Chain A
């Protein structure tokens, strides 16, 4: 038997699945699912397990053996497929997640951390929570190590927060009195499961400027996060989602970098902004301050600028991707970039100051992130 109900998952099912099973067995709200231990599994058996899950779609994630261990967080390194519906889609997603463990970027990451190679990973198939709000929670402040719970929250599915696609709301809850301090983030866009699949849409201005969590929800999340830390015996990094009045826990793992920079991802973005045009491209950053710099732009460069006016349109023919400091998903720059099929990140605050001319960067026009080097 190589398909295991999530609640029964043990250490051999990979760190992520085992961690979720511990939470489920402790009575915490975790979406139901199953673990495919051997990806070469019988499609009929997978379809049968799928039939027992509720909801219109599932999330498919890999669960590597060393993944989520205290030594290495694989955040963003292994494939996740959200919104698979039919048995055929789910099977494809399972194969993709299983294969992702063998990809170059994951192998590079593993060798940098001195981990052994593993040939196959287990894959978790879980009911997808149609989240209205979602995000992450740290049971200790990962930047300072202080005894405070830090919550990042935004509208829609949690991918927006995890990938750094939006500037989320941040709630810091400080012990012992549990005083709550909220900083409202811009929450530019949201990702939702629709009848036609996943869709990213702009968040209306009124929802951007107000906190997306109520004070009561903040306290309920804090209580759940502390239960996870108690069960694990160490500070945890928790992914959560809220559907209606119901809070769900999607993942809990040890915080990997206490006292260092926020450590969700080793490939943490240099700059984030609003996703302007879909797709992803890598090239040397070319900081362009004015028309006098135009001659410096070479084919394949990533155009980085404050804003664009009509004079800049010819540069879009040469550039591999576009990053602008001003504007949003509705800006002229974003509209023109889409016409050229270019990945674009707009409203990328301080991109000119934070990026270095000539350095290779990767622009993810779907996630709204700019990361160092090529991935």
Chain B
């Protein structure tokens, strides 16, 4: 396992208006082929990336929010949401889409990939990174 590194992706920006959110998602999906230990953090305006019911058709963008639901298929199931960022924006976890994966070690039971974390836990996750990518 010595070739496995922990990759932490921090997503901080709103989904549309800049290309950061989509680029981050694409890097995550392509990088998944390398079977590393991947953790995603959504904080600041990045929490809006996971909100339910997005419809960007009016601004001529593809609704890539649907793609987050595929992360479980790519074995990306450590997704951390900053509670403080939700609070600051008047959002709750129910405003975000549910993301799940099937646990291979537990008879393929469907489990939630999403973990709500406080700032202290967030520091620990960032501390755990061998590679830190900030979008």
Are A and B interaction partners? no
